[in-house]
Structure 1
Amino acid sequence: MELKGCRGFAGWYSVLTLCLLSFIYMSSTSASEEDPPSSSSAAIISRFQHYLQINTVQPNPKYHEAADFLLAQAKSLSLESQTIEFVEGKPVVLLKWPGSDPSLPSILLNSHTDVVQVEQHKWTHHPFAAHLDSQGNIYARGSQDMKCVGLQYLEAIRRLKASGFRPLRSVYLSFVPDEEIGGHDGAEKFAKSDIFDDLNVGVVLDEGLASPNEHYRAFYGERSPWSLVIKATGAPGHGSKLYDNSAMENLLKSIESIWRFRASQFDLVKAGLKAEGEVISVNMAFLKAGTPSPTGFVMNLQPSEAEAGFDIRVPPNGDPEALERRIAEEWAPASRNMTFRLGQFKAKVSVLDKSGRPIITATDSTNPWWNLLEEAVRKANGKLGKPEIFPASTDARYFRERGLPAIGFSPMANTPILLHDHNEFLNKDEYLKGIEAYESIIEAYASYVEKASGGDGSRDEL
Structure 2
Amino acid sequence: MEGNFNQISLKSLINFIFLSLLLISAISPSKTSKTPSNIITRFQQYLQINTAHPNPNYTQSSNFILSQAKSLNLESQTLEFVKGKPVIILKWSGKNQNLPSIMLNSHTDVVPAEFHKWVHSPFDAHIDGGGDIYARGSQDMKCVGLQYLEAIRRLKSDGFEPVRTVYVSFVPDEEIGGHDGAEKLAESEAFKKMNVGIVLDEGLASPNENYRIFYAERCPWWLVIKATGAPGHGSKLYDNSAMENLLRSIESVRRFRASQFDVVKAGLKAEGEVISVNMVFLKAGTPSPTGFVMNMQPSEAEAGFDIRIPPNADQKSLEERIAQEWAPSSRNMTFELGQFKQKGSVHDKFGNPAITAADNSNPWWSLLVGAIKKANGKVGKPEIFPASTDARYFRELGLPAIGFSPMANTPILLHDHNEFLNQAEYLRGIEIYESIIAEYASYVEPSPTRDEASRAEL
TM-score strictly above 0.5: yes
Match of 1:309 among 278, 293, 304: 304
| 8 Å contact from structure 2 (residues 220, 343) kept in 1 | no
Partners of 2:262 and 2:223 in 1: how far apart?
22
Match of 1:50 among 45, 52, 63: 45
Partners of 1:57 and 1:355 in 2: how far apart?
35
More deviation, 353-362/340-349: 340-349
**1:304-351: CA deviation from partner (whole Å, max 9, x where unpaired):** 000000000010000110000000110011111111111348766210
Give the CA deviation at 1:59.
1.1
Give the CA deviation at 1:175.
0.2
Partners of 2:360 and 2:374 in 1: how far apart?
19
Question: Quick one: structure 1 residues 356 and 138, their matched pair in 2 at CA, closer, same or farther if it must change by over 3 Å?
Answer: same
Residue type of the alignment partner of 1:155: E
Partners of 1:215 and 1:92 in 2: how far apart?
32
Question: Quick one: structure 1 residues 386 and 441, their matched pair in 2 at CA, closer, same or farther if it must change by over 3 Å?
Answer: same
Unaligned runs of 5+ in 2: 1-26, 453-458
User: 1:39: which partner in 2?
Assistant: 34
Partners of 2:156 and 2:347 in 1: how far apart?
40
Q: Which has the larger radius of gyration?
A: 1
Unaligned runs of 5+ in 1: 1-31, 457-462
**1:381-421: CA deviation from partner (whole Å, max 9, x where unpaired):** 11111010000000000111111100000000000000000
Match of 1:342 among 332, 337, 340: 337
| 8 Å contact from structure 2 (residues 205, 410) kept in 1 | yes
Match of 1:381 among 376, 382, 388: 376
Partners of 2:89 and 2:356 in 1: how far apart?
24
Work out whether 1:352 is the aligned partner of 2:347. Answer: yes
Partners of 2:66 and 2:292 in 1: how far apart?
52
User: 2:262: which partner in 1?
Assistant: 267
User: 1:4: which partner in 2?
Assistant: none
Match of 1:402 among 397, 402, 407: 397
| 8 Å contact from structure 1 (residues 109, 172) kept in 2 | yes
Q: Give the secondary-structure state (helix, strand or coil) at the position aligned to 2:66.
A: helix
Partners of 1:348 and 1:184 in 2: how far apart?
12
| 8 Å contact from structure 2 (residues 350, 398) kept in 1 | no
Partners of 2:198 and 2:300 in 1: how far apart?
49
Work out whether 1:324 is the aligned partner of 2:319. Answer: yes
Partners of 1:355 and 1:69 in 2: how far apart?
38
Work out whether 1:196 is the aligned partner of 2:191. Answer: yes
User: 2:228: which partner in 1?
Assistant: 233
Partners of 1:454 and 1:253 in 2: how far apart?
63
User: 1:109: which partner in 2?
Assistant: 104
Residue type of the alignment partner of 1:383: K
Q: Give the secondary-structure state (helix, strand or coil) at the position aligned to 1:407.
A: strand
Match of 1:363 among 345, 358, 367: 358
Residue type of the alignment partner of 1:436: E
Q: Give the secondary-structure state (helix, strand or coil) at the position aligned to 1:38.
A: helix
| 8 Å contact from structure 1 (residues 226, 345) kept in 2 | no
Residue type of the alignment partner of 1:244: D
| 8 Å contact from structure 1 (residues 231, 307) kept in 2 | yes
Q: Give the secondary-structure state (helix, strand or coil) at the position aligned to 1:172.
A: strand
Give the CA deviation at 1:275.
0.5
Match of 1:128 among 123, 132, 140: 123
Count of matched residue pairs: 422
Partners of 2:74 and 2:339 in 1: how far apart?
37
Partners of 1:384 and 1:365 in 2: how far apart?
15
Partners of 1:349 and 1:195 in 2: how far apart?
24
Partners of 1:112 and 1:348 in 2: how far apart?
21
Question: Quick one: structure 1 residues 98 and 439, their matched pair in 2 at CA, closer, same or farther if it must change by over 3 Å?
Answer: same
Q: Give the secondary-structure state (helix, strand or coil) at the position aligned to 1:94.
A: strand
Match of 1:285 among 273, 280, 302: 280
User: 2:415: which partner in 1?
Assistant: 420
Give the CA deviation at 1:353.
2.4
Work out whether 1:249 is the aligned partner of 2:244. Answer: yes
> Percent same amino acid among aligned pairs?
76
| 8 Å contact from structure 2 (residues 348, 397) kept in 1 | no
**1:351-376: CA deviation from partner (whole Å, max 9, x where unpaired):** 01244321110011211000000100
Partners of 1:454 and 1:327 in 2: how far apart?
52
Q: Give the secondary-structure state (helix, strand or coil) at the position aligned to 1:359.
A: coil
Q: Give the secondary-structure state (helix, strand or coil) at the position aligned to 1:100.
A: coil
Work out whether 1:59 is the aligned partner of 2:51. Answer: no
Root-mean-square deviation (CA), in Å? 1.4
Give the CA deviation at 1:215.
0.4
Give the CA deviation at 1:235.
1.0
Residue type of the alignment partner of 1:71: L
**1:85-111: CA deviation from partner (whole Å, max 9, x where unpaired):** 010000011000110111111000000
Counterparts of 1:6-21 in structure 2, within 5 Å, are: none
Give the CA deviation at 1:37.
2.1
Partners of 1:292 and 1:383 in 2: how far apart?
56
Partners of 2:334 and 2:61 in 1: how far apart?
43
TM-score, normalised via structure 1 length:
0.90
Partners of 1:339 and 1:363 in 2: how far apart?
40
Partners of 1:286 and 1:391 in 2: how far apart?
21
Partners of 1:230 and 1:109 in 2: how far apart?
38
Partners of 1:356 and 1:104 in 2: how far apart?
27
Work out whether 1:77 is the aligned partner of 2:72. Answer: yes
Residue type of the alignment partner of 1:146: M
| 8 Å contact from structure 2 (residues 212, 381) kept in 1 | yes
Work out whether 1:333 is the aligned partner of 2:350. Answer: no
Partners of 1:73 and 1:176 in 2: how far apart?
16
Residue type of the alignment partner of 1:101: N
Q: Give the secondary-structure state (helix, strand or coil) at the position aligned to 1:269.
A: helix
Work out whether 1:68 is the aligned partner of 2:68. Answer: no
Partners of 1:436 and 1:375 in 2: how far apart?
14
Partners of 1:173 and 1:221 in 2: how far apart?
21
| 8 Å contact from structure 2 (residues 222, 342) kept in 1 | no
Question: Quick one: structure 1 residues 446 and 154, their matched pair in 2 at CA, closer, same or farther if it must change by over 3 Å?
Answer: same
Residue type of the alignment partner of 2:416: D
Partners of 1:167 and 1:424 in 2: how far apart?
35
User: 1:391: which partner in 2?
Assistant: 386
Work out whether 1:449 is the aligned partner of 2:439. Answer: no
Partners of 1:89 and 1:355 in 2: how far apart?
33
